Structures are given as structure tokens and as C-alpha cells.
Structure 1
Amino acid sequence: MLQFKTLELSDRELFMKYLGDYNFNTYEYSFLNLYLWREYCNVEYAILNDALIIKKTEEGKGTVFMQPIGYTKGNLKDIISELIEYKKSNSSMKVLFSDIEEPFLEELKKIYDEKLQYFQDVKNFDYIYETEKLIKLNGDKLRKRKSQYNHFVSSYQYSIKDISEDKVINDCIRFAEEWFSGQQSNHQLVCELKGIKDIMHNLKLLNGLGMAVYVNDVIAGFTIGEIVNKNMAIIHIEKGDTIYNGIYAFINRTFAELYLKDVKHINREEDIGIPGLRRAKLAYDPIKLEKKYLVDIRRD
């Protein structure tokens, strides 16, 4: 039986050995993301036939595997057979795989044909944007965002600071604590706050990028992202104090301009089925929604 280990910061080197130049179109497989959500998703991993197997257990979804990383065409079916055996003895597994992208789904279709069952995980589709458009904010669809940005710039005495100095890190943590205290508490938010605190102190090691915004020398918001390859950056965290009109439009555009301008696309993750979040993400005119699938394989 597979033996899984809880994800820790010290596992990053091992994960990067398998991830290499990030070849995924979604944000799910980023080590920074997995580490950020390791408690909420109960992220664990094992090595099977020289492939990295990541297992998560999420509220409402149960236990699932992500795409094996480092498999070969010669050993993929053997790997999946062992994962199916693991699922047999784990009643919390409703499906075998989650966070599956279309290229891997197509490989599974070739192997399993009619035994394969798959469903679009619509509320978890990733929103993908052109970096240049997020910086220029040109066009009718982005006129409101540009107006919000301009309002912030003209209305407040602001400054930008990199999240690298201890004072800025501590300011961001304090801001996050206050931001979350104003939300209706649940397990996910508790885990997110803990994850933010953990990554704040390890941004450099995690290859993360962070920017804080101050108004009159008081922190007003911050964002954390990363560049995973020459084509894609990911925004993992974005928090702002809405007492400052246009704060989110300002954070969004300024971070893209100062930190991500050389990357073609920006992934701003999913809307998790929240209507307000969906409207906000659509308002920035994504070029596409990157599909993700839930996948199961019927046993003989």
C-alpha cells in the first residue's frame, strides 16, 4: 500500500525536481500553491514508480489524486492501477482524480476508453488574462477598471514596497489578520490565514513575489504571486482595504506592471462558484477559462 508523507517546506527541492519548467496551464501544481493550502487540502505525497503522486482531501470533494508527475507512457497504466487499488480501500474517495487538465485527460481516454468517466469542474476553471491588457487597461470592457485605477492614483498619497523587509512582512501579516477578522470565519479562511503567514516568511525560498501598498504610510493592501515559466504568472493572494476606492484595480495593474510585465499570461485562479467573485474576474476580460476535470475510472 502506498505510504504518503505530509507536505513540508523542505520538500520543495524534491517537487522542483519533478515539476522542472512548469508545464501546466492551471495553477494547481505550483509548489507555492500546494504549500499555501497544505492544511486546508491536507496535501500529502508519495513516490510511485519514480513518479510524484500528490493526494489532497478537500471539503465537499473528499480525497483525490492529482495528475501523477514524472510518469512515462510505459508505466502510467501500472501507476494508475495502484491508485485504483488505493481508492478501493478509501471510502472518502468519490473519484480518482481532480485538477486534471485536458492533455492528461486525452492520454487517459486512449488507455481506458469507455471505462473513463470525467466531468468538467466548472467552478474551478482558471481565469487566464493577457498581461499586456491588465497593464494597459485599454478597451470598453476594461474602462471601469481603468477608471477605478485612475481614481485611486489621483485620490491617495500612496507608496509601493516589496515584501522582503521584516517590517513590510509584519505589516502584511497584521493586515491579513485584520482583513480575515472582518470575514465570517470558517475552516478555509483559518487555513488560508495560516498559509499566508507561512509563505510571507519564506517568499524567496518559494520563488514568490510580493508587493504591499501603503496610503499615507499605512498599509492598505498586498498581493503575492509567482512566475512559473516564460508564458505564465500566477496570482495567489490579493487583499485590499476597500475603504480606499479603486484599491483592487490599483493592486492588480501595478503588480502586473512592476513584477510580471515580461510574462505573456497571468492566471488569477478560479471563482469557486461565488457569483461576486465570478463577476469580478470576468470584469477583467479573461482571454479564456482553463478547464479542469474530475476523473474516475470504472473497475473491471
Structure 2
Amino acid sequence: MIIFHEVKLTDKPRIDEMLRASAQRNCELSFSNLYIWQRTYGTTIAFVDDMLLAKNVKRGSFFTPVGPGDLKKAVERLVDFAKQEGCEARFTCVDERGMEQIRALFGDAFTYEHSRDSDDYIYSQQDLATLAGRAFHAKRNHVNRFKATYRWSYEPVTRENIPECLEVSHEWCMRNGVCEDHDVQNEKCAVKAYFEGFEQMGGRGGLLRVEGKPVAFTAGAPQYEGSDTFIVHFEKALADYNGVYATINQLFVENTLGDFAFVNREEDMGLEGLRKAKLSYNPVLLLPKYTVTHVG
């Protein structure tokens, strides 16, 4: 029997060990994502035979087992667990490598469906920091215009200025009339959990001001300790400052993420505007995600 438990800050070293063993780039499979979104998705985890197992109650699914242990046995355990619970054995947000591994082990015992809305956008840190070259001409112009127009300042997120990040988030909600939106409420819960565990999860963020007023913030965490990839979880800005989103993105990556090679800005959730924006930054990798479902 598998005993699942909620994700605790003290689980981070062991989760990182599992992720490091499988060289993860999948944004869902990071300690920070598992921890901050667990209330929204009912995420619980278990460590079994050197594998991390993760269950999402509200999604009715599992994540791909990861770690140095036996993947075949881990998948079989979860299929048996699902049968005992009387539910479907379904794995969501499975990256292409995970999907191919399961298909090699189990063949047509599972179905494999690409979930384009869940694909991760992964960028070169150098590209986002410098915006060099013709491909980034428009982005570079937006940033340069912002810097020339406003009296701005940038600073890393610290325990002291977290309240001002939350001010930006609240004002963004008010201006967009979405404070009561269900998804926004879930995100606010995740933001709260993120800042509560900011230091423990290795969080990093950036805060942008205009004439001293906080107008944008961005924040995230490494894929795991020692990873070359940083995951951006949140980005909020007051859009009446032209170029503010492009500027907080560039300043954060340039000033705060110099020790990473890649930046994962997560998925677009099928939102047309968000997809267009993420593609416009020329990702070096669009990491495919799949839904893998046991047949029978």
C-alpha cells in the first residue's frame, strides 16, 4: 500500500534528489510547483523504492514517477493503486522522454495523447538577458523605450519587499476585475505559499519600481538544487506602463539569473494571447507534454 502525504518544506532535499537523478526540465516536477500548488490540485506525494510518486486528487491523475529507482515497478504500483481506489490510472503533464519510457515499457497498455496547452516554454538565459539580434528587435525596443521614459529602479525580491509584490498582485486583480475569479483565487493561494517558503525553496524574484512605486514583480525557483534551469512561476505588472512586462522580464533574467543556462516560463494553458507572447520570445525548446492513460 502506498502512503501519500502532503508536500512539506522538509521534503525538498529528497525531492531534489529524485529530480536530479532524472535530470528533470518538466515544470510540474519541481519542488516549488509541487509545494505551492498542492492546495489547488490536492497534490500528495510518496517516496517508494527510490522513486517520487505524486498524486493529484482534484485532477484525478498522477505525475510521472521520477528518481533512480525502477520506473516499471513504480508505474505498476500506481496502476494497482488506482484499481484499488476504483479510478482510472492516468498520468498528466508527462514530458516526451517520460512518455517514450512508458511506451517502451508498456506499449499499447496505455494511450498517449499530446496536450499542447501544457507544453513548457524553455528559453536561453542569455537570449532573455541580452535580447540581442534581429529576432529580439521589437522586445529590445520596448525595453529601451520603457527605460528612457520612466524613472525606474530594479531590485531583487527579499523578505522586506514581499509585501510590495503582493500590493502589485492585488492592484493587478483590481484593475482587471478578476479578484473573485476562481483561477485567480487559486493563484493567490499559490503566491502566499510561495512567499511563505521563499527562502527554503531557493526562491528568487525581481521587483520593478517607477518613481519608487512598485509596478511589476516576477518570481520563481530552480528546477532543483544544482539545476541549470530556473522556473518562473509568477509575473504581474501594471500594464499602463508601456513595456513594463518586457522590462521586468529582461531585468530579472539579466540581474538575478546569471548562474542559470535556461529559463522555463511554463505553459500557455491554451490561452491565445499568452501563447503568442511566449512564442514571441523565441523559446529554444517547446517541451511537449502528454496525457498517458492505462487501458482497462
Give the TM-score, by structure 2 length.
Answer: 0.91
Tell me the residue number matched to 1:126.
Answer: 120
Whole-angstrom distance in 1 between the partners of 2:172 and 2:87: 33
**Cα contact 2:18–2:68 (8 A) shared by 1:** no
* Count of equivalent residues: 292
Residue type of the partner of 1:237? F
Instruction: Write out per-residue CA displacement over residues 215-241 of structure 1, whole angstroms, 9 at most, x where no aligned residue.
Output: 111100101122334532211111111
CA drift at 1:183: 4.0
Which residue matches 1:175? Answer: 168
Instruction: Give, as a single letter, the amino acid of the residue that structure 1 aligns with 2:101.
Output: E
User: 1:238/1:92 Cα in 2 relative to 1: closer, same or farther (>3 Å)?
Assistant: farther
Q: 1:69 to 1:133 in 2, by over 3 A?
A: same
Report how far residue 64 of structure 1 moved. 1.0
Deviations 1:181-218 (A, max 9, x none): 33433322112112212222331111111111111111
Structure 1 residue 188 corresponds to structure 2 residue 183: yes
> 1:48 aligns to what?
48
1:227 and 1:70, CA in 2 relative to 1: closer, same or farther beyond 3 A? closer
Q: Is the 8 A contact 2:18 2:52 kept in 1?
A: yes
- Would you say the 8 A contact 2:21–2:68 is kept in 1? no
1:96 alignment partner in structure 2: 90
Partners of 1:48 and 1:66 lie apart in 2 by 14
Shift of 1:50: 3.6
Deviations 1:88-112 (A, max 9, x none): 244564x521121222222222221
Q: Would you say 1:266 and 2:263 are equivalent positions?
A: yes
Q: Distance in 1 between matches of 2:22 and 2:219?
A: 18
Root-mean-square deviation (Å):
2.0
Residue 11 of structure 1: how far off its partner (Å): 2.7
User: What is the match of residue 32 of structure 1?
Assistant: 32
Q: Which amino acid aligns with 2:172?
A: W
| Aligned residue type for 2:78 | L
Determine whether 1:205 maps to 2:195: no
Contact kept? 2:204, 2:256, Cα under 8 Å: yes
Corresponding residue number in structure 1 for 2:229: 232
> 1:230-288 deviations in whole A, cap 9, x for unaligned?
53221111111111110011011111111113322211111000001001111111122
- Shift of the 81–201 alpha-carbon distance from structure 1 to 2, 3 Å rule, reads closer
Measured against aligned partners, the alpha-carbon deviations of 1:109-135 in whole angstroms (never above 9, x if no partner) come to: 222122221111110101111221212
Q: Which amino acid aligns with 1:255?
A: F
- Secondary structure (helix, strand or coil) at the match of 2:77 reads helix
Alignment of 1:151-162 (within 5 A): 151-162=145-156
- Are 2:273 and 1:276 aligned? yes
Question: What SS is found at the alignment partner of 2:39?
Answer: coil
Q: CA distance change for structure 1 residues 57 and 179 in 2, over 3 Å: closer, same or farther?
A: farther
> Offset at 1:169?
1.0
TM-score between both structures, scaled by the size of structure 1:
0.90
Q: Secondary structure at the match of 1:39?
A: helix
Residue among 272, 280, 283 paired with 1:286: 283
Residues of 2 paired with 1:217 and 1:24: CA distance?
Answer: 39
CA displacement, residues 158-199 of structure 1 (integer Å, 9 cap, x when unaligned): 111221142x11111122122223343332211211221222
Superposed, which structure 2 residues align to 1:101-120 within 5 Å? 101-120=95-114
Structure 2 residues without counterparts, runs of 5 or longer: none
Give the unaligned 5+ runs of structure 1: none
Contact residue 180 and residue 193 of structure 1 kept, 8 A:
no
Moved more, 49-58 or 274-283: 49-58
